[in-house]
């Protein structure tokens, strides 16, 4: 049974598709770490990924296929798990980006940290890990 868990922000999923390092971290630890992703964050990653890839001259279908394959390594979480924490999450993010509330609410509901590159989560009451530091958290 995995002993560690993280809520993964949409920007991390996008980085996992556009680069190698984040994807390698997820792949290397998927058997021993629970990577939770709110369904809305996965949809957000899908939405932004296609535009980013086109802008870079890449194939959006290949990028979306890679994102979907990563979807098998994470656990998608529906709002029934964290929805009752929406008001609290929005309040904690009110001076930053309240639309990120599903990530924070999921972290509050599951009592685990957030993996993100978004500084809006800093100081919101849950631990946050950036990609350059997440391996320290994942060490045994």
pLDDT at 140: 61
pLDDT at 139: 86
CB 111 within 8 A of CB 127: no
Query: 43 — phi, psi (to 5°)?
Result: -65, -40
Q: Please identify which residue in the block is written with the tokens 């980085």.
A: 15
Q: How many residues does the chain have?
A: 140
Nearest to 25 by CA among 122, 103, 97, 131: 131
Confidence of residue 74 (pLDDT cuts 50, 70, 90): very high
Write the pLDDT tens digit of every residue in 24-62.
999 999 999 999 999 999 999 999 998 999 999 999 999
Residue 5 has pLDDT above 60, yes or no: yes
pTM of the model: 0.92
Domains defined along the chain, listed by start: 4-138 (3.40.50.1010)
């Amino acid at each position: 049974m995995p002993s560690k868990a993280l809520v993964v922000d949409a920007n991390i999923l996008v980085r996992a598709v556009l680069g190698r390092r984040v994807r390698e971290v997820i792949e290397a630890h998927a058997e021993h770490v629970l990577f939770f992703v709110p369904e809305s964050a996965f949809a957000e990653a899908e939405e932004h990924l296609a535009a980013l890839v086109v802008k870079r001259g890449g194939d959006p279908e290949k990028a979306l296929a890679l994102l979907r394959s990563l979807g098998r390594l994470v656990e998608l979480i529906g709002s029934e798990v964290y929805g009752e924490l929406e008001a609290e999450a929005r309040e904690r993010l009110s001076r930053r980006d309240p639309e990120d509330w599903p990530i924070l609410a999921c972290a509050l509901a599951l009592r685990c940290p957030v993996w993100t590159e978004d500084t809006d989560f800093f100081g919101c009451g849950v631990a946050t890990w950036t990609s350059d530091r997440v391996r320290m958290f994942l060490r045994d």
